[in-house]
Amino acid sequence: MNQTVYVVPNPPTPNRIIQFDPGNCTGCNSCVEVCPTDVMMPNPEQYQPPIIVYPEECWYCGGCVEECSESGALTLLHPTSQRISVNWKHRDTGEVFRLGMKNPPPARPQIVSGRSAASRK
């Protein structure tokens, strides 16, 4: 089979699922390989961010962000309806957490009528 196959990005869709920082992205394509829905393809130009081909297929699982070896090279842009419960900030330390992250923080003590579960014992 010697046919040429072309993949063309879908520009009419309003979805922007990922924002790449060209200064940090090395074009390693680890995000492309880990994506379960194949929304991206490797860029034909070396050391360039991948091309987003099917943004409407994204599950917003965050696997691409977790797999990325360069800090800040890509940011997952959740739809507005999902932004409220996806990220949260620890009140005391200011540390930011994301739903589905590899090493989540320990669960907060359950509060029952003003007392923590540990203080009831």
Q: What is the pLDDT of residue 50?
A: 93
pTM of the model: 0.56
- pLDDT tops 70 at residue 80: no
117 lies in some domain = no
- pLDDT tops 90 at residue 72: no
Q: What is the pLDDT of residue 117?
A: 52
24 lies in some domain = yes
- How many other CB atoms are found less than 10 A from the CB of residue 113? 5
76 lies in some domain = yes
pLDDT tens for each residue of 14-70: 667 888 998 899 999 999 999 999 999 999 999 999 999 888 888 888 899 999 888
Distances (CA, A) of 43 to 12, 49, 52, 97: 20, 6, 9, 30
How many domains does the chain fold into?
1
120 lies in some domain = no
Are 58 and 37 within 8 A, CB to CB?
Answer: yes
Task: Determine the residue type at 13.
Answer: T
Q: Percent of the chain, pLDDT > 90? A: 28
Residue with the larger pLDDT of the pair 50 and 87: 50
84 lies in some domain = yes
- pLDDT tops 70 at residue 10: no
Domain holding 48, by residue range, is 18-104
38 lies in some domain = yes
47 lies in some domain = yes
109 lies in some domain = no
CATH number of the domain at 87, please: 3.30.70.20
End-to-end CA distance of the chain: 71
